[in-house]
A and B are shown apart, each in its own frame.
Chain A
Protein backbone atom coordinates (compact mmCIF):
# COMPACT_ATOMS: atom_id res chain seq x y z
CA UNK A 1 0.00 0.00 0.00
CA UNK A 2 1.08 3.53 -0.69
CA UNK A 3 1.78 5.89 2.17
CA UNK A 4 3.37 9.22 2.91
CA UNK A 5 4.85 10.40 6.19
CA UNK A 6 5.53 13.97 7.20
CA UNK A 7 7.15 13.47 10.59
CA UNK A 8 6.95 17.09 11.72
CA UNK A 9 3.66 18.75 12.53
CA UNK A 10 5.34 22.14 12.54
CA UNK A 11 8.63 23.62 11.42
CA UNK A 12 9.82 26.94 12.78
CA UNK A 13 12.50 28.96 11.05
CA UNK A 14 13.74 32.54 11.08
CA UNK A 15 13.37 34.66 7.99
CA UNK A 16 16.45 34.43 5.81
CA UNK A 17 17.46 31.02 7.10
CA UNK A 18 17.24 27.86 5.03
CA UNK A 19 14.21 25.64 5.55
CA UNK A 20 13.54 21.94 5.14
CA UNK A 21 10.19 20.18 5.33
CA UNK A 22 10.58 16.43 5.47
CA UNK A 23 8.68 13.77 3.57
CA UNK A 24 9.18 10.03 3.26
CA UNK A 25 7.09 7.67 1.20
CA UNK A 26 6.33 4.01 0.66
CA UNK A 27 5.20 2.55 -2.67
CA UNK A 28 5.41 -0.80 -4.39
CA UNK A 29 6.86 0.50 -7.62
CA UNK A 30 8.47 3.80 -8.54
CA UNK A 31 6.93 6.98 -7.17
CA UNK A 32 5.52 10.12 -8.62
CA UNK A 33 6.00 12.75 -5.91
CA UNK A 34 4.37 16.12 -5.40
CA UNK A 35 4.49 19.06 -3.00
CA UNK A 36 1.51 21.34 -2.44
CA UNK A 37 1.09 24.42 -0.27
CA UNK A 38 -2.09 25.60 1.42
CA UNK A 39 -2.54 29.16 2.61
CA UNK A 40 -5.28 29.96 5.15
CA UNK A 41 -8.79 29.59 3.76
CA UNK A 42 -7.47 28.56 0.36
CA UNK A 43 -7.23 25.39 -1.67
CA UNK A 44 -3.99 23.53 -2.20
CA UNK A 45 -1.57 24.97 -4.73
CA UNK A 46 0.93 22.88 -6.65
CA UNK A 47 4.61 23.64 -5.91
CA UNK A 48 6.64 21.00 -7.71
CA UNK A 49 6.77 17.37 -8.76
CA UNK A 50 9.20 14.56 -9.42
CA UNK A 51 8.33 12.18 -12.21
CA UNK A 52 11.68 11.02 -13.53
CA UNK A 53 15.11 12.38 -14.37
CA UNK A 54 17.13 14.79 -12.28
CA UNK A 55 16.74 14.09 -8.57
CA UNK A 56 16.73 17.80 -7.75
CA UNK A 57 13.48 19.41 -8.75
CA UNK A 58 12.91 23.15 -8.78
CA UNK A 59 9.47 24.63 -8.33
CA UNK A 60 7.49 27.74 -7.61
CA UNK A 61 8.47 30.53 -5.20
CA UNK A 62 12.10 29.39 -5.00
CA UNK A 63 11.31 25.98 -3.53
CA UNK A 64 13.13 22.82 -4.51
CA UNK A 65 13.01 19.19 -3.48
CA UNK A 66 15.43 16.32 -3.72
CA UNK A 67 14.32 12.83 -4.56
CA UNK A 68 16.37 10.23 -2.69
CA UNK A 69 15.43 6.72 -3.72
CA UNK A 70 17.61 4.91 -1.21
CA UNK A 71 16.12 6.85 1.67
CA UNK A 72 12.63 6.98 0.09
CA UNK A 73 12.54 10.69 0.81
CA UNK A 74 11.45 13.83 -0.99
CA UNK A 75 12.29 16.71 1.31
CA UNK A 76 11.21 20.23 0.42
CA UNK A 77 13.83 22.95 0.74
CA UNK A 78 14.36 26.64 0.27
CA UNK A 79 17.70 28.43 0.74
CA UNK A 80 16.24 31.55 2.34
CA UNK A 81 12.82 31.57 4.00
CA UNK A 82 10.34 34.42 3.77
CA UNK A 83 7.62 35.29 6.26
CA UNK A 84 5.17 34.86 3.39
CA UNK A 85 6.21 31.19 3.11
CA UNK A 86 4.31 30.51 6.32
CA UNK A 87 1.63 28.00 5.35
CA UNK A 88 0.65 24.34 5.47
CA UNK A 89 2.70 22.05 3.21
CA UNK A 90 1.59 18.68 1.91
CA UNK A 91 3.65 15.95 0.33
CA UNK A 92 1.83 13.49 -1.93
CA UNK A 93 2.73 10.29 -3.76
CA UNK A 94 1.37 8.12 -6.51
CA UNK A 95 2.72 4.67 -7.30
CA UNK A 96 3.72 4.36 -10.95
CA UNK A 97 2.46 0.77 -10.85
CA UNK A 98 -0.96 1.77 -9.57
CA UNK A 99 -3.56 2.06 -12.30
CA UNK A 100 -5.54 4.37 -10.07
CA UNK A 101 -4.95 8.08 -10.33
CA UNK A 102 -5.30 8.60 -6.61
CA UNK A 103 -2.81 10.83 -4.88
CA UNK A 104 -1.95 9.87 -1.32
CA UNK A 105 -1.36 12.96 0.80
CA UNK A 106 0.68 13.27 3.95
CA UNK A 107 -0.77 14.79 7.09
CA UNK A 108 0.77 18.17 6.38
CA UNK A 109 3.49 20.25 8.02
CA UNK A 110 2.85 23.75 9.19
CA UNK A 111 5.73 26.07 8.38
CA UNK A 112 6.10 29.16 10.53
CA UNK A 113 8.66 31.72 9.43
CA UNK A 114 9.30 34.37 12.06
CA UNK A 115 10.57 37.83 11.15
Chain B
Protein backbone atom coordinates (compact mmCIF):
# COMPACT_ATOMS: atom_id res chain seq x y z
CA UNK B 1 0.00 0.00 0.00
CA UNK B 2 1.53 3.29 -1.12
CA UNK B 3 -0.18 5.40 1.51
CA UNK B 4 -1.19 9.00 0.96
CA UNK B 5 1.03 10.53 -1.68
CA UNK B 6 2.27 14.09 -1.69
CA UNK B 7 4.97 13.82 -4.28
CA UNK B 8 6.35 17.32 -3.79
CA UNK B 9 8.18 17.51 -0.46
CA UNK B 10 9.47 21.05 -0.83
CA UNK B 11 8.01 23.92 -2.79
CA UNK B 12 9.62 27.33 -3.03
CA UNK B 13 7.89 30.25 -4.69
CA UNK B 14 7.93 34.00 -4.67
CA UNK B 15 5.34 36.26 -3.16
CA UNK B 16 2.48 36.88 -5.54
CA UNK B 17 2.91 33.65 -7.45
CA UNK B 18 0.34 30.91 -7.67
CA UNK B 19 1.23 27.64 -6.00
CA UNK B 20 -0.61 24.33 -6.28
CA UNK B 21 -0.13 21.47 -3.87
CA UNK B 22 -1.20 17.97 -4.87
CA UNK B 23 -2.40 14.90 -3.05
CA UNK B 24 -3.35 11.35 -3.92
CA UNK B 25 -5.36 9.67 -1.14
CA UNK B 26 -5.34 6.00 -0.32
CA UNK B 27 -7.50 4.09 -2.75
CA UNK B 28 -10.95 3.42 -1.37
CA UNK B 29 -10.88 6.16 1.23
CA UNK B 30 -13.96 8.34 1.15
CA UNK B 31 -12.62 11.31 3.11
CA UNK B 32 -9.78 13.64 2.31
CA UNK B 33 -8.44 16.35 4.61
CA UNK B 34 -6.02 19.25 4.08
CA UNK B 35 -4.07 20.52 7.09
CA UNK B 36 -1.53 23.25 7.63
CA UNK B 37 1.17 23.03 10.29
CA UNK B 38 3.14 25.97 11.64
CA UNK B 39 5.10 26.57 14.80
CA UNK B 40 2.81 29.40 15.83
CA UNK B 41 -0.58 27.84 15.13
CA UNK B 42 0.11 24.12 15.29
CA UNK B 43 -1.95 21.79 13.13
CA UNK B 44 -4.99 23.40 11.52
CA UNK B 45 -7.66 21.73 9.43
CA UNK B 46 -8.24 23.77 6.29
CA UNK B 47 -10.90 21.79 4.43
CA UNK B 48 -12.20 18.27 4.04
CA UNK B 49 -14.03 16.33 1.34
CA UNK B 50 -16.40 13.38 1.41
CA UNK B 51 -16.77 11.46 -1.84
CA UNK B 52 -15.07 14.34 -3.69
CA UNK B 53 -17.50 16.94 -2.33
CA UNK B 54 -16.21 19.71 -0.05
CA UNK B 55 -17.96 19.40 3.29
CA UNK B 56 -16.35 21.97 5.55
CA UNK B 57 -14.02 24.72 4.37
CA UNK B 58 -14.35 26.90 7.45
CA UNK B 59 -10.64 26.53 8.11
CA UNK B 60 -9.55 28.02 4.83
CA UNK B 61 -7.86 31.23 5.91
CA UNK B 62 -8.71 33.51 3.01
CA UNK B 63 -10.16 33.62 -0.46
CA UNK B 64 -6.64 33.21 -1.75
CA UNK B 65 -6.94 29.55 -0.78
CA UNK B 66 -8.99 27.09 -2.79
CA UNK B 67 -9.19 23.31 -2.94
CA UNK B 68 -10.62 20.87 -5.43
CA UNK B 69 -11.14 17.16 -5.68
CA UNK B 70 -11.99 16.36 -9.30
CA UNK B 71 -12.00 12.62 -8.67
CA UNK B 72 -11.51 10.09 -5.92
CA UNK B 73 -7.79 9.78 -6.50
CA UNK B 74 -6.64 13.39 -6.68
CA UNK B 75 -6.96 16.67 -4.82
CA UNK B 76 -5.31 20.06 -5.09
CA UNK B 77 -4.84 22.97 -2.75
CA UNK B 78 -4.13 26.24 -4.52
CA UNK B 79 -2.90 29.52 -3.12
CA UNK B 80 -3.21 32.53 -5.41
CA UNK B 81 -1.51 34.89 -4.82
CA UNK B 82 0.87 33.43 -2.28
CA UNK B 83 2.28 35.46 0.62
CA UNK B 84 5.25 34.83 2.94
CA UNK B 85 2.89 34.10 5.83
CA UNK B 86 1.59 31.11 3.90
CA UNK B 87 4.91 29.37 4.50
CA UNK B 88 4.12 26.17 6.36
CA UNK B 89 3.96 22.42 5.99
CA UNK B 90 0.78 21.32 4.27
CA UNK B 91 -0.48 17.82 4.96
CA UNK B 92 -3.04 15.81 3.15
CA UNK B 93 -4.78 12.95 4.98
CA UNK B 94 -7.41 10.41 4.02
CA UNK B 95 -9.78 8.21 5.95
CA UNK B 96 -12.08 5.34 5.07
CA UNK B 97 -15.84 5.40 5.60
CA UNK B 98 -17.25 5.88 9.06
CA UNK B 99 -14.63 8.57 9.40
CA UNK B 100 -15.91 9.47 12.84
CA UNK B 101 -14.53 6.19 14.08
CA UNK B 102 -11.52 5.77 11.89
CA UNK B 103 -8.09 7.22 12.09
CA UNK B 104 -6.70 9.47 9.42
CA UNK B 105 -3.70 8.50 7.32
CA UNK B 106 -1.35 11.36 6.67
CA UNK B 107 0.91 12.02 3.74
CA UNK B 108 4.52 13.13 4.24
CA UNK B 109 3.61 16.78 3.77
CA UNK B 110 4.76 19.54 1.44
CA UNK B 111 6.91 22.24 2.97
CA UNK B 112 5.99 25.51 1.29
CA UNK B 113 8.32 28.47 1.43
CA UNK B 114 7.10 31.77 0.03
CA UNK B 115 9.91 34.26 -0.41
Give residues in A with beta carbon < 8 Å to B.
32, 34, 36, 41-46, 49, 51, 90, 94, 96, 100-103, 105-108
Interface presence of B55 (CB below 8 A): yes
Interface presence of B107 (CB below 8 A): yes
Most buried by B among A41, A90, A102: A102
Interface presence of B100 (CB below 8 A): yes
Write out the residue numbers on chain B whose beta carbons fall within 8 Å of the beta carbon of A43: 4, 91, 93, 106-109
Q: How large is the interface on B (under 10, 10 to 19, 20 to 34, 35 or more residues)?
A: 20 to 34
Interface presence of B103 (CB below 8 A): yes
Chain B residue nearest in CB terms to A6: B42
Interface presence of B104 (CB below 8 A): yes
Query: Which of A49, A102, A105 contacts B42 (CB under 8 A)?
Result: A105
Q: A45-B106, A96-B100, A101-B95 are in contact. List 5 more A-B contacts (CB 8 A).
A: A43-B91, A43-B107, A90-B43, A101-B99, A108-B42
Write out the residue numbers on chain B whose beta carbons fall within 8 Å of the beta carbon of A106: 42
Write out the residue numbers on chain A whose beta carbons fall within 8 Å of the beta carbon of B75: none
| Interchain CB contact under 8 A, B43 and A101 | no
| Interchain CB contact under 8 A, B42 and A107 | yes
Nearest CB on B from A74, distance (A): 14
